[in-house]
Chains A and B, each alone.
Chain A
Amino acid sequence: KNEVEQSPQNLTAQEGEFITINCSYSVGISALHWLQQHPGGGIVSLFMLSSGKKKHGRLIATINIQEKHSSLHITASHPRDSAVYICAVKDGNQFYFGTGTSLTVIP
Chain B
Amino acid sequence: EAGVVQSPRYKIIEKKQPVAFWCNPISGHNTLYWYRQNLGQGPELLIRYENEEAVDDSQLPKDRFSAERLKGVDSTLKIQPAELGDSAVYLCASSLWVAGELFFGEGSRLTVL
Contact = CB atoms under 8 A, between A and B. Distances in A.
A90 to B, nearest CB: 7
A42 interface: yes
Interface in A23-71: 30-31, 33, 35, 40-45, 48
Contacts of A98: 42
Contacts of B103: 45
B104 A44 contact: yes
Q: Which A-B residue pairs are the 4 nearest by beta carbons? A: A97-B42, A42-B106, A43-B104, A48-B101
B18 interface: no
Given A42-B104, A42-B107, A43-B91, A93 B42 contact: no
Size class of the contact patch on chain A? 20 to 34
Contacts of B53: none
Contacts of B99: 30-31, 90
A22 interface: no
Interface of A: 4, 30-31, 33, 35, 40-45, 48, 86, 88, 90, 93-95, 97-100
A34 to B, nearest CB: 11
Contact of B102 (A41, A93, A94, A95): A95
A86 B104 contact: no
User: Which secondary structure characterizes the binding site on chain A?
Assistant: strand
B106 A99 contact: no
Contact of A99 (B4, B33, B41): B41
A58 to B, nearest CB: 20
Contacts of B106: 41-42
A88 B105 contact: no
A42 B102 contact: no
Contact of A45 (B45, B98, B102): B102
Contacts of A41: 106-107
Contacts of A95: 33, 43, 45, 102
